[in-house]
């Protein structure tokens, strides 16, 4: 059972790694570098596969918009009102709710 779990975990990772290698070769890089470039090449793979650029999405996911959406979801699902507690706690450079 443990071998099956390992195999199920390993195969998608191996497939992703091969996709990243092929993308890197396609773009003219000579050698696949390990940890430091995995996130870079994962982003390039996502851009080529799904035509999504992280920088183009950034304006839609600013922190205030995400926090408002999260609190709205909490209100809808659990009927919880989240309000800012400005000045009620000794905090520095963070939002306290």
pLDDT score recorded for residue 27 = 63
Long-range CB pairs of 7-16, under 8 A, 24+ apart, other chains included: 16/42, 16/45
pLDDT in tens, the chain (97 residues): 556 665 666 667 677 777 777 666 666 554 555 555 667 777 877 888 888 888 888 888 898 899 999 999 999 999 988 888 776 767 666 666 6
pLDDT score recorded for residue 84 = 80
Domain boundaries of the chain, sorted by first residue? 2-56, 62-97
């Amino acid at each position: 059972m443990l071998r099956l779990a390992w195999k199920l975990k390993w195969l998608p990772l191996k497939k992703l790694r091969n996709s990243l290698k092929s993308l890197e070769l396609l773009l003219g890089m000579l050698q696949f570098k390990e940890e430091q470039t995995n996130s870079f090449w994962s982003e390039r793979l996502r851009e080529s596969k799904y035509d999504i650029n992280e920088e183009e999405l950034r304006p839609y996911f600013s922190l205030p918009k995400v926090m408002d959406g999260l609190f709205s979801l909490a209100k809808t699902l659990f009927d919880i009102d989240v309000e800012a507690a400005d000045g009620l706690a000794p905090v520095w450079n963070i939002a306290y709710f």
